[in-house]
Structure 1
């Protein structure tokens, strides 16, 4: 196969950096361009070590900067677009979330067509499908159900519109007369070492005598390890580069899960951290229906205050539904079409994540000792 190159947007992020490391192992890959607004020094050091295998070009720039995108896409064979603002709490930052998640994706698609990039893979989200209510029950859902979120909260709404734009762009004519091939991947809730959501919960627990909060204990979900999501992107890229396999997946979306046991978000946090002495909060928690109505009242307060003050409620009805519903999906179609099988088992993923949590615990203890 001829030499080729790939651009990864959001390459400094939790998922993006893992995609870059797996990409470096791909045959005949000549160059990886990594684009993000800013890169941490330690990550740049990691990327520099990959240069023994492949050329790595670091580009710091804004996903909304057209000139930056043109330079990033010139001569590129494929785009993996992971750049996104992930925010399920805020209802006041709608403008910035919509700009980056939707407008940024549209600009990437336009630039790909202008610069003759034939392959575009989009990192979508489970939230494109829902859940639309805490009462909703979906077990081992699949792509043919065509589920769609009805929430207008910035994150799920922007991801839904962006995914629609990506899939609609499949078959678009490129400037040189070629054709654009697209697909989208919808990962479950992604966990693993470096997860900002896990970091948030662990830090709160560390400040509360290693006690984990119970918010979300009524959910049943199938979380997915970050390494397996990255692997699914590599397989989607291989499939779209294969003329025989590409027609099967062009313009399609795929749910990406793995063999992590179905469990609540609370149980996941506990299973990943119990080795380090974490425990679950005792006592009763707020009933879900009550949390739903409290969230509604808080949203009304935010709406009424908006002309004079931007108030973000501590939680919303969307977050209550997301955190307390039964919402699991099968990766059967990804297995059939992409040849996807998890690269990491549940035991491996759990151990890697637990080891990282252990490093947070040790860091916290060291800091606490210094302050005494």
Structure 2
């Protein structure tokens, strides 16, 4: 079903995924309006969308996701909300109160504003990390929405994303003031890569400092399935179309879906090498130290940081749970999203890799200049 004439809200519209989703909406749907919500919106973001906006109105909304009155203003008259905003933190560097306030309370306030303002559809951007891996490092290969798994979340990030997702799904079918009912669903993308991915660029920058040799932090057999940002945006569009369709709504409403694509299953480290190798980067053959020793070192760092906590807050560069995540086979199929949402990846692995590598190449001069400046 088309979103023609709809008014869509995109929170986090200036982020990595947000900008890609806004552009896709402009290219494929004749919307009445897209409301770009973020803490700060650069004029450049609006200007770069000018070539594909057509008659769609682009409206910037700058504000805090924790401001309920502001959120009601953003949602007033809207039909679809894409909630992308969250603090992403895999090092537990952000204070718990801050990440909870943004990721959980912000999502709850946005849900409440959506209900109060008669929004029909609410799509929440979750993460694969709400599933795990658990502290035992138990693997999942080609998991589905029905996969049973003993999950033990360690990061505040994964905990808050899980709670926000649960609140979103519980709000499905809530009665709206106008007599209609809210439809919600949650999308769980794998690790997202592509043009603009700051994590990927960070690994490449480390490789530059290491003489164009990427660090290996994951074993080759710890295979995962990253997903291209363009395909994640397409998954969001299909979710909105499905919730607006009375027939598909009964299938998708109140459910979560894994979003992956046909990117080969490789370890995180080998994926970094796959997209950087055409630019002359090599990769370490082995982990810097055996994995068991790595865990011991992480334990010592965590213990030292805990002892220092009464005097100074120090964040260890690597925690045991992150090391487990990097070294656990953990992959999921997109067949559920294909069946219920009509999602099919728009970009092949070859095209996604080419686009990503070209973007990295465009950033290399800046990264090398930063290194020389130091």
TM-score using structure 2 length = 0.94
What does the per-residue CA deviation read over 1:238-284, in whole Å, with 9 as the maximum and x for residues that have no partner?
Answer: 00001111111100000010000000111111110111111112565
Contact 1:149 1:157 survives alignment (8 Å): no
Please name the residue that 1:296 is paired with: 299
Match of residue 15, structure 1, among 14, 17, 20:
17
* Whole-Å separation in 1 of the counterparts to 2:306 and 2:246: 51
Is there any run of 5+ residues in structure 2 with no aligned partner, and where?
none
- For 1:42-191, list aligned pairs within 5 A: 42-133=44-135, 135-147=137-149, 149-191=151-193
Please name the residue that 2:325 is paired with: 322
Query: How far off is 1:347 after superposition?
Result: 0.1
SS class of match (2:32): strand
Contact 1:134 1:325 survives alignment (8 Å): no
Change (3 A) 1:110 1:272: same
Match of residue 268, structure 1, among 271, 280, 288:
271
Change (3 A) 1:100 1:279: same
Aligned: 1:254 with 2:251: no
Contact 1:224 1:260 survives alignment (8 Å): yes
Please name the residue that 1:201 is paired with: 203
SS class of match (1:33): strand
Change (3 A) 1:355 1:301: same
* Whole-Å separation in 1 of the counterparts to 2:80 and 2:368: 45
Aligned residues: 371
* Whole-Å separation in 2 of the counterparts to 1:267 and 1:362: 23
Change (3 A) 1:148 1:107: farther
Please name the residue that 2:356 is paired with: 353
Is there any run of 5+ residues in structure 1 with no aligned partner, and where?
none
* Whole-Å separation in 2 of the counterparts to 1:42 and 1:60: 15
Query: How far off is 1:178 after superposition?
Result: 1.9
* Whole-Å separation in 1 of the counterparts to 2:204 and 2:306: 31
Query: How far off is 1:134 after superposition?
Result: 5.8
Contact 2:8 2:78 survives alignment (8 Å): yes
* Whole-Å separation in 1 of the counterparts to 2:139 and 2:371: 43
What does the per-residue CA deviation read over 1:176-224, in whole Å, with 9 as the maximum and x for residues that have no partner?
Answer: 2321110000000001011010111111112222110001234210000
Please name the residue that 1:241 is paired with: 244
- Tell me how large the CA RMSD over aligned residues is: 1.9
* Whole-Å separation in 1 of the counterparts to 2:128 and 2:138: 14
Aligned: 1:310 with 2:313: yes
Contact 1:137 1:325 survives alignment (8 Å): yes
Which segment is superposed worse, 299-308 or 204-213? Answer: 299-308
SS class of match (2:34): strand
* Whole-Å separation in 2 of the counterparts to 1:92 and 1:38: 20
Which segment is superposed worse, 174-183 or 248-257? Answer: 174-183
* Whole-Å separation in 2 of the counterparts to 1:148 and 1:251: 22
Change (3 A) 1:148 1:34: farther
Which segment is superposed worse, 281-290 or 105-114? Answer: 281-290
Contact 1:276 1:361 survives alignment (8 Å): no
* Whole-Å separation in 1 of the counterparts to 2:136 and 2:243: 37
Match of residue 220, structure 1, among 220, 223, 237:
223
* Whole-Å separation in 2 of the counterparts to 1:367 and 1:330: 39
Query: How far off is 1:234 after superposition?
Result: 0.2
Query: How far off is 1:353 after superposition?
Result: 0.2
Which segment is superposed worse, 76-85 or 89-98? Answer: 89-98
* Whole-Å separation in 2 of the counterparts to 1:284 and 1:101: 33
* Whole-Å separation in 2 of the counterparts to 1:7 and 1:39: 14
